[in-house]
Amino acid sequence: MTEATSGSDDEERAKPSLNDRRKAALRLDIARHAVALFNSRGVAGTRGEQIAQAVGISTRTLWRHFPTKESCVRPLLAASLEAATEQLRHWPPDVGLLDYFVDSCEHGTLPEAEPAVLNLIRMTRTEPALRAVWLQAHDDALPVICELLADRSGENPDDLRLKVHAATINGALRAAAEDFAQRYATDEHAGTKEITTSLRKALRAATESLPY
């Protein structure tokens, strides 16, 4: 009885507070409006004041959450990446990485890619500042993937071999997202089948031996 109560208390403490949830919702709202403005006006043609006005907040509030206009998109990029890393937490020990992710895509346990996110990923190809935000999001995810692989394998997360494996998975996820966003830029019907194809190709390349 005591253990059950303790477990419930731990789960309750792990939940984000109402204030944290409100902050996260506002940051996502800012990110979506920023992408919409970047799409219509271009990054250079968009000011922070315009993003704040579109969201309905003060410029001061905007800068309290983000240091630059380009960094406003970070929550959208981070959310899609966090969904993929969270999926790794449920990776069964007797299933290979490629099969697990493909199965997750086909059975809908990975969230659908938002059009705003796909537009944003496409823009990272031509906008260096947005590219930096995209790469930073993946860089921040790297130690998380290292820890997940360490828990699975029993190895030290600081082991170079494990770090290379984590970086390879991280790079494959990024390449798959970029491939899907670019390849199906004009196909509004592209969805699970197409993202699964991109992910399968990227992870297969990551898990096969180097042919060099």
pTM: 0.82
Domain that holds residue 65: 2-69
Lowest mean pLDDT among 3-12, 14-23, 72-81, 126-135: 3-12
The structure tokens 């937490």 sit at 89
Contacts of residue 34, Cβ cutoff 8 Å, sequence gap at least 6: 46, 51, 69, 72, 73
Shared domain check, 152 and 187: yes
Decide if pLDDT at 1 tops 70: no
First to last CA, the chain: 59
Q: Is residue 212 part of a domain?
A: no
Q: Give kind and range of the element (H or E) at residue 152.
A: helix 128-153
> For residues 177, 179, 40 and 44, what is the CA-based torsion angle, rounded to 10 degrees?
90
The first and second tokens of residue 142, run together, are: 């790297």
CA dist., res. 206 & res. 145, Å (int) = 15
At 23, the amino acid letter reads K
Contacts of residue 24, Cβ cutoff 8 Å, sequence gap at least 6: 16, 75
Shared domain check, 174 and 84: yes
8-state DSSP, 127: -
Residue 165 CB neighbour total at 10 angstroms: 19
Query: What is the mean predicted confidence (pLDDT) over 31-54?
Result: 96
Q: Is residue 89 part of a domain?
A: yes
Distance of CA 98 to the CA centre of its chain: 18
Which CATH number is 116's domain given? 1.10.357.10
Query: What is the mean predicted confidence (pLDDT) over 45-74?
Result: 97
Lowest mean pLDDT among 2-6, 156-160, 206-210: 2-6
Q: What is the pLDDT of residues 140-182, one digit of tens each?
A: 999 999 999 999 999 999 999 999 999 999 999 999 999 998 8
Decide if pLDDT at 66 tops 70: yes
Lowest mean pLDDT among 26-30, 182-186, 189-193: 189-193
Which CATH number is 22's domain given? 1.10.10.60
CA angle 137/150/175 to nearest 5° reads 35
Number of domains in the chain: 2
The first and second tokens of residue 10, run together, are: 């731990």
Residue 182 contacts residue 125 (beta carbons within 8 Å)? yes
Shared domain check, 138 and 37: no
Decide if pLDDT at 47 tops 60: yes
Shared domain check, 60 and 11: yes
Contacts of residue 190, Cβ cutoff 8 Å, sequence gap at least 6: 180, 184
Shared domain check, 8 and 98: no
**Is 87 or 31 the better-scoring residue by pLDDT?**
31
DSSP string, 73-95: GHHHHHHHHHHHHHHHTT--TTS
Q: What is the pLDDT of residues 113-123, one digit of tens each?
A: 778 888 899 99
Contacts of residue 2, Cβ cutoff 8 Å, sequence gap at least 6: none
